[in-house]
Amino acid sequence: MAFFVSTMTKTLRFLSVLILIVILPLPAFAQEKVFGEDTLKALYSYKFALFTEWPEAKLNDGNASLEFCIIGRNPFGQSALDAIQDKPIKDKSIHVEMYNSGVLSDESLNNCHVAFISSSELQRLPALLNSLQHFSVLTISDIPGFSRHGGMITLIKSGDHIQFEINPDAINQVGLAISSKIIELATLVKTTKQGHE
């Protein structure tokens, strides 16, 4: 008898825990799309690339991949990278290339279509942008003030959401064009902090 009661109690306890666990998380996941910060930033970057036009010569380089370069310490987790790796853009597919040391040759840089500049490169940002302005590379970063320093797109965390700033002049200067659909949704800024030239 005692055995029966204890088994019952155990089963009941187990069931109640199971039910609690299954029901509790429901509301949290049901309503909004929820992402890790890095995944959302990666998806944004992919979207920006999708709406960007590169010069004909840069795109017809005979390479089947669209190079997505990460400069500096990789801020993306694997699920963020998985979300964009091999995804199609203009008959090409995204290939992620990491330059964790933050150093890359002109040759490598010229191969990049998109450069995501990690926050680890904060202090050398002006020097980086100075080098990058000679190439048709879409520059994206989450370093605050990136676009005001001459970068193209800045991802800004505001509360629970991520918004973005765009510096259209910086984009046009290197022969790129970004769709008005993106421009309309962005906060537009100009290069105000001179650090290069």
Partner 1 sequence: MLKSSPFEVVLITKKIIRWISRILLWTVFCYAYPVNVLANEPEGLDKLSIEELMGSKVISATRTEQQLTDTAAAAYVITQDDIRRSGATNIPEALRMVPGLHVARISSTKWAISARGFNGLVADKLLVLMDGRSLYSPINKGVYWDIQDRVLDDIERIEVIRGPGASVWGANAANGVINIITKHSADTMEGSATLFGGDKYGAGLRKGWQFDDQGYARVYGKFLRDESFANRIGNDTNEEWTSGRGGFRMDWANSDGKHALMAQGDIYYGVYNQNDAKNQDIPSNDFSLNRTVKKGGNIMARWNYNQSLASRMTAQFFYDAFQENQSLNRSLNSETVDFDFQHVLAVNEAHELTWGFNYRLSLVQLKPFNSGIAKEYFPKTFQNNRFSVFFQDKWRWSDDVEITLGSKFEHHNNNGFEYEPSLRILWKAANQHRVWAGVSRAVRLPAVTDLSANVFFENDPNLKQVFEFNQYQKLKSDEVVSYELGYRYWNSDSFSFDVAAYYNQYNNNLVANNEFSDLFPEQSIKKSTTLGLEAVVAWHPVDWARFQLSTSFINMEIKSIRKIPNVSPETTSQDPRFLWAFRSSFDIAPAVEVDFWLRYADSASGVLVAQAIPSYVTLDARLAWKLNKNLELAFIANNLNDSQHPEFYDGFTPNPLQAERMFWLQGSLKY
Strand duo 153-158 + 138-141: pairing: parallel
Closest Cα partner for 154 from 138, 142, 162? 142
Residue 1 or 15: the one with the smaller Cβ distance to partner 1 is 15
Which residue is it, tokens 């998985």? 82
Closest Cα partner for 76 from 120, 109, 110? 120
Residue 157 or 190: the one with the smaller Cβ distance to partner 1 is 157
Mapping DSSP onto H, E and C, the string for 93-105 reads EEEEEEECCCCCC
Residue 1 or 187: the one with the smaller Cβ distance to partner 1 is 187
CB of 33 to partner 1, least distance (A): 4
Residue 1 or 102: the one with the smaller Cβ distance to partner 1 is 102
Site residues, partner 1 (CB under 8 A)? 17-18, 21-22, 25, 28-29, 32-40, 43-44, 46-47, 51, 73-74, 76-79, 81-85, 87, 98, 100-109, 111, 122-132, 157, 160-163, 181-182, 185, 194-196
CB of 42 to partner 1, least distance (A): 9
What does the buried/exposed string (b/e) look like for 49-64 if buried means 16 or more CB atoms within 10 Å of the residue's CB? beebebeeebbeeeee
Residue 12 or 106: the one with the smaller Cβ distance to partner 1 is 106
CB of 54 to partner 1, least distance (A): 19
CB of 37 to partner 1, least distance (A): 5
Tell me how far apart the alpha carbons of residues 169 and 149 are, in angstroms, rounded to a whole number.
12
Tell me how far apart the alpha carbons of residues 56 and 83 are, in angstroms, rounded to a whole number.
27
CB of 53 to partner 1, least distance (A): 16
Residue 83 or 176: the one with the smaller Cβ distance to partner 1 is 83
Question: Are the CB atoms for 15 and 23 separated by under 8 Å?
Answer: no
CB of 94 to partner 1, least distance (A): 9
For residue 75, give the 3-state DSSP assignment: coil
Tell me how far apart the alpha carbons of residues 114 and 71 are, in angstroms, rounded to a whole number.
10
